[in-house]
Structure 1
Amino acid sequence: MTVTFNEIISNSESSEEFLNLFHEVLDTKVDEPHRVILLACYKNPGLSPKLKDKTKQRLVRKWLNKYQKGFQNRISQRISRPPQTKPDPIINTIISSRLTELTEEHLEQISYAHRLSMSAENIQGLLLEEFLAEELAHYGWFCGWGETIRFVDFCNLDGSLLQVKNRSNSENSSSSRVRSDRPIEKWYRIEAKTGQYKWSYFNDRYQTDRFSEENFISFVKRVLAKNLNALPVEPNNPWQSV
């Protein structure tokens, strides 16, 4: 017989009883980030992670390990993997059929540049997430590392929930649908059609100027300078020698 995370919530008579289970397993007080995210799960059980285990205690540890693993593997710390697939040769044929003056060397450079660009796109959202985690912490927001709460990226001390997207056109249907009956805020960094940045959403709200594209760029440069492994570069990529 297994126990699910939602069952722990539904069988708890109060949020304090729910949190006490985590106190008992940890043998210490639950820290503030954990507490805020757990309370968000308790108040919004449909957002709680789909976890199950043999006992409540094991399930609690599984949730905590999930959070810890997500935090420890944030982009400033992780070792990202380069593309694991081989490029399709027909792409070079298509390009060279249109731009007939391109040499094989040009086509190889284009192929590797494209693969590097895809790797950069793969970590873009992770960089934005960690930047916001650092800045929003000043205003009571905590990141749900490791998808310890579903469909939500940040939870606030006051119970507010926030979804974050890089661009206005990057949302999938499930993210949109989950907001239909829940008080979840949505923010995206850039309006896809106009290129307009949306940092004012936070600056106006908190009367600050710490949220900006300039500060985000500085953060990205700092992370990549300290952790080259955040962006994987294939050994044969010719752009390494430029």
Structure 2
Amino acid sequence: MAVTECPAVCDDAPPALRLRLLGGFQLSREEGRGDVPVGVPASGQQLIALLALRGAATRSALAGTLWPEVTEERARACLRTAIWRLNGASSVISDARSGVLALDRRVRMDIQDFTTTAHHILAAPAEGTGAACASLLGMGELLPGWLQDWVVFERERLHQLRLHALEALSARLVAQEQYAPALEAALESTRIDPLRESAHRAVVKVHLAENNLAEAVRHFKAFRRLLRTELGIEPSGQFFTMVRHALT
């Protein structure tokens, strides 16, 4: 049930399909004034999500990843069934070349938008920080509730990318003296990973930049108590020095 790729004349047309993986799986088609949800069975969701996260792949690789506990022959049969069951959603998948499947180029993916934004921030341009902040603060977790090994791996990869982007964004905003959004970005990173020291240092950096020494010390002490309670360790010497210098 493969569908050929869109001809070159369509390359500049707006995406006909939207795929959301952050916060949950949703496939929709652009029709008229809005997006219309497209029903996708569970096996089809997994196939589409895997192609979105890993890119084009051979049928053998896809079958082995999605059904690792059965024989190769059985796994390939399951893949054929999953493609057949896509029915109306089958246009999301194309045969990139013989034996290789990929998502159709018309599909716009939220994870692609997120990774583009995150890498844009990490590349250190100064423009677009407001839109980047809104994008990073508003995103959900990758496919919550999915427990497959390949999803867990990709979820952690995107999780780490988001944390690094938030910390870099906070530092950029501090340099621009935009302290409120800088603090929001830093606090969001501590919410995502409460034990991440670099995230808490980002929060303290904002407070120090605003000369809010009491808040900086208060946040440091709260993080220190958390580390002692959860892990029985102390913050790094770098963090101690950061706060000590602010008080001298």
> What's the TM-score, normalizing by structure 1?
0.24
Q: Which has the higher helix share?
A: 2
> What's the TM-score, normalizing by structure 2?
0.23
Higher RCO (Cα < 8 Å, 6 or more apart): 1
